Structure 1
Amino acid sequence: MLANFLIGLREGLEAGLIVAILAAYVVKIGRRDVLGRLWVGVGIAVAVSLGVGALLTWGPYALSDEGGELLGGILSLVAVAMVTWMIFWMGTHGASLSGELRGRVDAAIDRSWIAIVVLGAVSVGREGIETALFVWANVSSGSDPVQGTLGALLGILVAVALVWGISRGLVRINLSRFFTWTGVFLILVAAGVFAYAIHELQEVGVIPEFGGPAWDLSAVLSRDTWMGALLAGIFNFTPAPTWAQVIGWVAYVVVTLTLYLRLLHRRHTSTPAAAAPAATAPAEVPADAAPSRRESVAPSVRSA
């Protein structure tokens, strides 16, 4: 539940900040007439995300056991790839996100009314589909479906409340630090989903077994114990992993975490120390795009 809560919180906060930036900029340039189109696009994104979640939940029931395992393994790999891409994308584009979104709004307004709808749908839909796919993969790998879904919904609700508070200057949060540490945590969660994908693909013979389990901790740390259930729910822990799962988990964590930490180091060293107090947080509306406190998305938020 905790892992899905964090997924819902991070993705919901990112999507909410994107919507707030788009809405604030549209108001700033005096084009309130296109706000309705923007909300139509956001509504379409939400509907598509819910549809993807429903399809992932009920679709596999029509498949055989082998077909379900193969689909589960493939979609879990897709989920890991999407979340990994999301973590690195936010690490590289977070600081310039506001300017990029404002440029897209200008371009969409110049084209046609439908372009604003598409902009809202694409900007939010990506986050929604990522959330649906990753939550499904996490739940399918052993988490309780009800608790996992409730955790994700709770995270999204908390994200909505935070965005509302930030946009009105009621909440101060270091978004840069938040996205940095949740990125590290999600790498560990994604590693567990990656190991689950390997297991499913081994079940259908796509990946060879490579002998028996690497070890077996079922006697002391089975999923029936509170600690085993907690680790399984958060990190997809299994007490008797295969060697392929162990190698895959270690390789993913070492490679991804190393690249991510290098990205953070480059971002930190490339920012002059004197400019650090004035640096804007990811997804913040700059001062020139937010003349009033009510129209600003996060005028008081600073990044580390």
Structure 2
Amino acid sequence: MLATYLIGLREGLEATLVVSILVAFLVKSERKDKLKLVWIGVAAAVAVSVFFGWLLSYTETTLLQDYRQQELFEAVTSIAAICFVTWMIFWMRRAARGIAGELRNKLEDALAVGSLAVGVMAFLAVVREGLETSLIFYAAVQGADLNGGPLVALIGGILTAVAIGYLMYATAVRINLTVFFRWTGVLLILVAAGIFKYGLHSLQEATVLPGVNDVAYHAAGVLDPSTWYATLLAGMFNVTAEPTVLEVIAWVLYAVPVLVLFLWPARKPAPAPAPAPAPQA
């Protein structure tokens, strides 16, 4: 539940920030009549994202009856999810500072094209986050006993993100988004490492990769599944008591280099050269 709450919070805040920038631009430019088009685009994006999440679940549980096919489908969605997660956290790290200006420029172009373009822009801005959320959520809860808990946690994270976005828009509340995205990015990298580990285990179960019986270590005494901390580590980062050798290698090979690259200080742009002095008369 903590992992899915984090996914909802992170993805939800990104989408909320995009929508708040669009709304603020329209309000300040006295084009409030276009706001309904933004909300129509947002509603359509949410509907498409929910449908995509349902389609993923329906495909595995209904369309795929063979166990090996189900394992392969889980593996493919897991690998696709970590690709999206990795791309998303590095994209936000690079583009966070200039996202507001970029969106304003795109919205100005959309307004010049026509009313429909405004709704399409809002739809495209939100649907990307929504599809990512559905895919990452599906990959994160594979093999878990749902009982509605992870879905409630995901919705709770999204609602928290909406509340934060509203407070930032309507009041003087300011949040250090650089720090927020940095530390949630670190946690999401660890979550993605667990998803990658699960995806390779699914490939082992489907006999695509060998070594399903090659256990790396036995740590049931330390990671007792009945304890709260073992449940937390397994649910958040897929750290389990008896992983295979390939699972451990996959977890480390993803988590360590990606964390190093993500936390490495960004290179500051070189200062612009000073203008040459004007020639004297």
The answer as to whether partners of 1:143 and 1:232 remain within 8 angstroms in 2 is no
Gaps of 5+ in 1: 273-304
* Secondary structure in structure 2 of the residue aligned to 1:248: helix
Q: Taking structure 1 as reference, are residues 254 and 143 closer, same or farther at Cα in structure 2, changes over 3 Å only?
A: farther
Which amino acid is 2:108 matched to?
Answer: D
Report the Cα distance in structure 2 between the residues aligned to 1:60 and 1:126, rounded to whole angstroms. 22
Give the corresponding residue for 1:192: 194
Over the aligned positions, Cα root-mean-square deviation in angstroms equals 1.8
Equivalences for residues 44-59 of structure 1 within 5 A: 44-59=44-59
Report the structure number with the largest CA radius of gyration.
2
Give the corresponding residue for 1:293: none
Instruction: Render the CA deviation track for 1:72-109: whole Å, top value 9, x for unaligned.
Output: 01001111110111100000000000011001101111
Instruction: Give the TM-score normalised by structure 1.
Output: 0.84
Instruction: Give the TM-score normalised by structure 2.
Output: 0.90
Give the corresponding residue for 1:154: 156
Q: Taking structure 1 as reference, are residues 153 and 56 closer, same or farther at Cα in structure 2, changes over 3 Å only?
A: same
Instruction: Quote how far apart the aligned CAs of 1:218 are.
Output: 2.8
Instruction: Quote how far apart the aligned CAs of 1:217 are.
Output: 1.7
Which amino acid is 2:19 matched to?
Answer: V
After the TM superposition, which parts of structure 1 deviate over 3 Å for at least 4 consecutive aligned residues? 269-272
Equivalences for residues 224-243 of structure 1 within 5 A: 224-243=226-245
Give the corresponding residue for 1:120: 122
The answer as to whether partners of 1:3 and 1:234 remain within 8 angstroms in 2 is yes
The answer as to whether partners of 2:205 and 2:212 remain within 8 angstroms in 1 is no
Instruction: Render the CA deviation track for 1:177-211: whole Å, top value 9, x for unaligned.
Output: 00111001110010000000000011112222276
The answer as to whether partners of 1:143 and 1:233 remain within 8 angstroms in 2 is no
Report the Cα distance in structure 2 between the residues aligned to 1:211 and 1:113, rounded to whole angstroms. 59
Instruction: Quote how far apart the aligned CAs of 1:59 are.
Output: 2.3
Q: 1:255 aligns with which of 252, 257, 261?
A: 257
Shifted more, 252-261 versus 141-150: the winner is 141-150
Which amino acid is 1:114 matched to?
Answer: L
Give the corresponding residue for 2:26: 26
The alignment of Structure 1 onto Structure 2 pairs a total of residues equal to: 269
Report the Cα distance in structure 2 between the residues aligned to 1:143 and 1:96, rounded to whole angstroms. 41
Equivalences for residues 57-96 of structure 1 within 5 A: 57-62=57-62, 63=64, 64-96=66-98
The alignment-based identity, stated in percent, is 45
Report the Cα distance in structure 1 between the residues aligned to 2:132 and 2:145, rounded to whole angstroms. 18
